[in-house]
Amino acid sequence: MSTRINDTTDLQAISRKRDLRRKTLPALAQAGPVSVWMILFVTIPMLYIIYISFMSRGVFGDVVYEFSLESYQTLLDATYFKVILKSLQVALFTTVLCLLLGYPFAYYIARKPPEKASRLIMLIMIPFWTNSLMRLNSWLLLFQTSGPINNFLQWAGITDAPITFVYTDGLVVLGMITNMLPFAVLPLYSSIEKLQKSLLEASSDLGATPRETFFRVTLPLTFPGIFSAVILVFIPSLGIYTVSDMLGGGKVLYIGNIIKNQFGSIRNWPLGAALSVLLLVITGALIFLYTRFSKLEDMEVV
């Protein structure tokens, strides 16, 4: 009797050891470095942000470590509501435009033979070899009052007086789209590429018009790519501040600029932290809603 019990415990020990060697160690080796990285550079800073959002501010912009809800009370002010609404609008607008521009382009690339496709993908990435501030500055130079675009318009007789492009909402949106387009094209491409041609053929064989095929076969099947494109474009556009800072001339302010100002010139870190928390909550809520209303088992991020 007793030996048998010993046997089973031995067996358990052995299988536990084997489990450790077979499952835990490889899992640790694979996920460990990333977990450490994420804890160090994402989780801890995020907890710190939440922590200081409940602190008070000192006169010279230092954080006074005393519990206070002042920052969150400030957020109730209607002006912040307006800014957040405006930022959401712009982010949504950017996302929709990126999808409208990105989808046909991704579709076009995906239908090309692999070698050509990889070259076309490279073309999308090439502008990203230069710093984004550099690219934004070049937009300013192109569109400024005495810049090439205005000169051309006047030369061609399209306008008499130069048009003010710089420091307008329109140019900011243009800058956003150029910055975000690759993040829409890449996931769209990877899901369109996987689409089996036979399905499309079957659809048309069964009498569907190309239009019907697109809306009832192609679009639903590439939905995972659309979903990741939305997430990858919408969330960064909500928080980005460099584009509106440079192309908006410090006059066009979105939530990202307000947060940046709190940590910079205005020096109210707790308010900046509270705004960041609010931004986290908004993006979290949006993702939650989205996962609720879409079948997430086939969600995929490249």
Partner 1 sequence: MKRILSGVLAGAMLLALCACGGDSSAPAETTAAGTDAPAETTPAEASTELNIYMWQQYISDELIANFEEENNCTVNLSYMSDNADAITKLTAGGGQEYDLIMTCDAYMESLIAGGYVEKLDLTQIPNSSNINEAYWTAKDYCVPYLMNYIYIVYNTETCPIDITCYNDLIDPALKGQISTIDGARNLFPIALIALGYDPNSTEESEIAEAYEWLVKFNENVVAYGAAEQNLTNGTASVALTYDGNTSWAMSEMGENNTLVVADPFDDAVQLGFDLYVIPTGAQHTDLAYKFLNYICDPEAMAKNLEEYPYSCPNDAAVAAAPESYRNDPARNFSYKENVFFQEDVGEALTIYNDYYQKLKVGQ
Residue closer to partner 1, measured from CB, 93 or 193: 193
Among 29, 34, 76, 122, the residue binding partner 1 under the rule CB under 8 A is 122
In terms of phi and psi (left: phi > 0; alpha: psi -120 to 50; beta: otherwise), the region of 167 is left
Is residue 192 within 8 A of residue 107, CB to CB? The reply is: yes
Residue number with CB closer to partner 1 (132 or 283): 132
Binding partner 1 by CB under 8 A: which of 127, 236, 239, 249? 249
Q: Which of 73, 89, 164, 204 binds partner 1 (CB under 8 A)?
A: 164
Sole binder of partner 1 in the list 200, 221, 287, 302 (CB under 8 A):
302
- Interface with partner 1 includes 162 (CB under 8 A)? yes
Nearest approach, Cβ of 57 to partner 1 (angstroms)? 7
CB 254 within 8 A of CB 244: yes
Compare residues 83 and 208 and give the one whose CB is closer to partner 1.
83
Q: Of 89, 118, 159, 291, which one interacts with partner 1 (CB under 8 A)? A: 118
Give the amino acid at 234. Answer: F
| Residue (131 or 196) nearer to partner 1, CB | 131
| Rounded-to-integer distance, Cα 98 and Cα 187, Å | 12
C-alpha span between 173 and 167 (Å, rounded):
11
Q: State which of positions 23-52 bind partner 1 (CB under 8 A).
A: none
**Using CB atoms within 10 A of its CB, is residue 127 exposed (0-12), middle (13-18) or buried (19+)?**
middle
CA distance 81 to 75: 8
Q: How far is CA 68 from CA 64, 200, 258, 281, in A?
A: 10, 60, 20, 20
Residue list 172-231, contact with partner 1 (CB under 8 A): 186, 189-190, 193
Residue 60 C-beta: closest distance to partner 1, Å: 6
Q: Which of 72, 80, 93, 223 binds partner 1 (CB under 8 A)?
A: 80
Cα 228 → chain centroid: 9
Distance CA 227, CA 66 (A): 42
- Cβ neighbours of 106 (radius 10 Å): 28
Contact positions vs partner 1 (CB under 8 A): 57, 59-62, 79-80, 82-83, 114, 117-118, 121-122, 125, 128-129, 131, 144-147, 162, 164, 166-167, 186, 189-190, 193, 249-251, 253, 258, 261, 264-268, 302
